[in-house]
Structure 1
Amino acid sequence: MYKNKNITIFLHLLVWLTLVSLPYLLSYSQDQELDRVKAHFWIPLFFSAIIFYFNYFVLIDRFLFPKKTLFFIVINIALIGLFLFLKEYIEDNYFQDILKKRLANTERTAPPFKMAVYIQLLSYLAPLFFSVALKSTKRWAKTEAERKEAANFKLKSELQHLHYQLQPHFFFNSLNNIYSLVDISPDQAKSSIHSLSKLMRYMLYETNLEVVPLSKEIDFLKKYIDLMTLRVSDKTTVNYSFPSGETGIQIAPLLFISLIENAFKHGVSATKPSTIDINMTCDDNTVLFSVENHNFPKKTDDKSGSGIGLQNLEKRLELLYSDKFNFKTILKDDRFLVTLKIETN
């Protein structure tokens, strides 16, 4: 901020220095009468600077932006009128030689009085309009920056809310699965609790970042699949394939877990054979994830889960990746297929 302020001051000084030097810059090597430059150029330029900065620092903020337009116009008319009078007064009393030459050449070269006043008036209106334009642009830029900051804060708040919403959802679903093992296989239930603690540690302490390495997310998904596999019967076959090693891709955490949860929730039957196929591939900065499973609709009295997993996922994808993702679900016969494609760059 301090650096930007110094640059602004330097640019202002540079502009005014250029304007002060303008008579000499435009006349090349021709001689300039100093009194003439003072009377016809530097004094009006000084008045223009007062109009510009008085409007920029005082009048625009105090009257124009608060919609007190009449006061703004009246004050500027009075100010410009004062400077028109002062310019004539200074010329008449302090630059007699120039005045005599002007009177001697009045009939031959001088423009009509009304035209002269009109030209001077325009010269004072220019800094006025420029100060309004510059101040309005600065105000718009500040408002736009504040709007973007507010939108960014809202985005982060929504994502944080969805993240916190996902954690208890995941935790309770996993506990329900472990609960079903307690009577059937206490040893597996103990092992599952230990695995769940590792998964929760990842969710609580390693997913607060905006993005995580895809390799970490894959490791989390594998552990979750292994945990869920403990509770399914021999009638269910679970196949999965993930990229091996470090992919170099960074991705938002916990985007795929809801899809796997959904497959184990709706794709497993205690009496019928079923298959769950989970596949992930990577190509440059694009991740393609798919889950295909048998479809066994939940009974109406089945209250397991809250049904927020897929809704949560879609909201997060909209907020995080906007038009850089493709999410599809297909139900055909007794098979349910979901695909998710994400461009991470």
Structure 2
Amino acid sequence: MTALFKQIKTTYIYHWTIWIILIFFKLIMDYSVFGNSFFMMNVKLFIIAIILFYINYYLVLPFIIRQTPKKIIIITVLVIVVYVALMIFFLPPLPKHMLKDFPKNGKMIPFQHGISLYDVFFRIGIFSTIFSTLLFFVDKWIENAKKIKALEFERQSSELKILREQINPHFFFNALNSIYSLSIIKSEETPRVILILSDIMRYVLNNKNGNKNNLNDEISNIKKYIEIQSIRFNTFNNIHYEFYGNFTSYEIEPLLLLTFVENAFKYADLKKGPLDIKIHLEGGLLDFSVRNFYGKKIFEDGKDNKLGIENTKMKLNLLYPGKYKLDIEDNDSEYKVNLKLNLN
């Protein structure tokens, strides 16, 4: 009963809008054709039609659709056969005075003797059955479309949550490798790197609620990661980065850009060439690019690289459909990534 009440509550508004339109249309048509609206007769007619409509809508049709396809066909055929047979059997003869007077003055002569049992079960019944069946399946289609949309949203949310969980451990693993490299050579910068990494970890953990983050905070986090890597590669001076734009006015998915920066440092061979990172923001359009040279290591450990990139692509598809363009170039020694993202 609770489910039935909820269904009635969600559908009654536009159902009754349709009924009101039909009633007024019938009254206007009767008045224009017969010169009389036959108000009381139409009231009775629509009360009967509404009762038959909702008996079919809420009781008969839900019962039928719960059956197997074979039973549905059998029930439908039996109902049609019995209905047509009874309609033919109970079809009343046309009154002689109607045959004599029809048509009169170019107008149709209405049924003047009230509503008979035949009218209730056949004329009004056919209208109510067809009308309620059509509306029932339209409502079911709308309801199923909403369920599919809700399930798709739930699927995307679950998928995005999984992607976030995959990215974060992958990132920390690479960052810890950097600290490990410094600890081996007993670098004096190791405590400082650990402190910076703790700030990055705090940033990541504070953004696990699924919300987008301020772009300026995201850029600051990327700068901290670059600082860690710059300390690690302190013998090289060919790490270049350039950030330009009013980042505080926009939001972005946390760690979305860091994946590309992380991969660039992980596979970069700074002896072969520079590592360049550029982030420009203008009018809500983010232009992000990373370029690095690499050696054989990327082929030996290419699986992790592909996983991070593929996860980022999936996040872009889920969060920014139709609002980004991602180009990746690989010429066997140089790797380029360019992402144009509309943050408006």
Shorter-normalised TM range: 0.7 to 0.9
Partners of 2:37 and 2:201 lie apart in 1 by 85
Secondary structure of the structure 2 residue equivalent to 1:268 = coil
Q: Which of these two proteins has the greater Rg computed from alpha carbons?
A: 1
Q: CA deviation at 1:124?
A: 3.5
Q: CA deviation at 1:295?
A: 2.4
1:221 alignment counterpart: 222
The worse-fitting range, judged by mean Cα deviation, of 305-314 and 145-154 is 305-314
Q: Does 1:106 align with 2:99?
A: yes
2:204 alignment counterpart: 203
1:71 alignment counterpart: 75
Specify every segment of 5 or more residues in structure 1 that has no aligned partner in the other structure, as ranges: 93-98, 112-116
Partners of 1:254 and 1:45 lie apart in 2 by 62
Q: CA deviation at 1:342?
A: 1.4
1:306 alignment counterpart: 304
1:251 alignment counterpart: 252
Encode CA deviations 1:242-298: one digit per residue, 9 max, x unaligned. Answer: 1354442221111111211122122234xx364211101112222110112222331
Q: CA deviation at 1:126?
A: 2.5
2:115 alignment counterpart: none
Q: CA deviation at 1:333?
A: 7.7
Q: CA deviation at 1:130?
A: 1.4
Q: Does 1:321 align with 2:320?
A: yes
Matches within 5 A, 1:36-115: 38=41, 41=42, 43-64=44-65, 66=67, 67=69, 68-72=72-76, 74-75=78-79, 102-109=95-102
Partners of 2:256 and 2:298 lie apart in 1 by 27
The worse-fitting range, judged by mean Cα deviation, of 332-341 and 15-24 is 15-24
Matches within 5 A, 1:332-343: 332=331, 334-343=333-342
Secondary structure of the structure 2 residue equivalent to 1:240 = strand
Q: Does 1:297 align with 2:296?
A: yes
Secondary structure of the structure 2 residue equivalent to 1:292 = strand
Q: CA deviation at 1:27?
A: 1.9
Q: CA deviation at 1:142?
A: 1.2
Q: CA deviation at 1:125?
A: 2.2
Encode CA deviations 1:1-23: one digit per residue, 9 max, x unaligned. Answer: 99996685455456555655666
Provide the TM-score with structure 2 as the length reference. Answer: 0.78
Specify every segment of 5 or more residues in structure 2 that has no aligned partner in the other structure, as ranges: 109-117
Against the structure 1 CA distance between its residues 137 and 10, is the aligned structure 2 distance closer, same or farther, given a 3 Å change threshold? closer
Against the structure 1 CA distance between its residues 21 and 312, is the aligned structure 2 distance closer, same or farther, given a 3 Å change threshold? closer
The worse-fitting range, judged by mean Cα deviation, of 69-78 and 198-207 is 69-78
Against the structure 1 CA distance between its residues 28 and 328, is the aligned structure 2 distance closer, same or farther, given a 3 Å change threshold? closer
Partners of 1:314 and 1:151 lie apart in 2 by 18
Secondary structure of the structure 1 residue equivalent to 2:274 = strand
Q: CA deviation at 1:28?
A: 6.5
Against the structure 1 CA distance between its residues 294 and 17, is the aligned structure 2 distance closer, same or farther, given a 3 Å change threshold? closer
Partners of 1:188 and 1:77 lie apart in 2 by 90
Partners of 1:195 and 1:108 lie apart in 2 by 100
Checking the alignment, whether the CA contact within 8 Å between 2:229 and 2:265 is kept in structure 1 is yes
Provide the TM-score with structure 1 as the length reference. Answer: 0.77
Q: CA deviation at 1:71?
A: 2.4
Checking the alignment, whether the CA contact within 8 Å between 2:48 and 2:124 is kept in structure 1 is no
Give the letter aligned to residue 326 of structure 2.
Answer: F
Identity over aligned residues, as a percent? 26
Matches within 5 A, 1:55-204: 55-64=56-65, 66=67, 67=69, 68-72=72-76, 74-75=78-79, 102-109=95-102, 121=122, 123-204=124-205
Secondary structure of the structure 2 residue equivalent to 1:306 = helix
Give the letter aligned to residue 306 of structure 1.
Answer: D
Partners of 2:188 and 2:225 lie apart in 1 by 18
Secondary structure of the structure 2 residue equivalent to 1:227 = helix
Give the letter aligned to residue 153 of structure 2.
Answer: N
Partners of 1:59 and 1:215 lie apart in 2 by 60
Give the letter aligned to residue 164 of structure 1.
Answer: E
Encode CA deviations 1:149-202: one digit per residue, 9 max, x unaligned. Answer: 111111111111111111111111111110111132443111111111110111
Against the structure 1 CA distance between its residues 43 and 297, is the aligned structure 2 distance closer, same or farther, given a 3 Å change threshold? same
Partners of 2:325 and 2:238 lie apart in 1 by 27
Against the structure 1 CA distance between its residues 17 and 204, is the aligned structure 2 distance closer, same or farther, given a 3 Å change threshold? closer
Partners of 1:247 and 1:171 lie apart in 2 by 26
Partners of 1:166 and 1:199 lie apart in 2 by 14
Give the letter aligned to residue 239 of structure 2.
Answer: V
Q: CA deviation at 1:33?
A: 9.3
Q: CA deviation at 1:29?
A: 12
Cα-Cα RMSD: 3.8
Partners of 1:233 and 1:284 lie apart in 2 by 36
The worse-fitting range, judged by mean Cα deviation, of 322-331 and 13-22 is 13-22
1:114 alignment counterpart: none
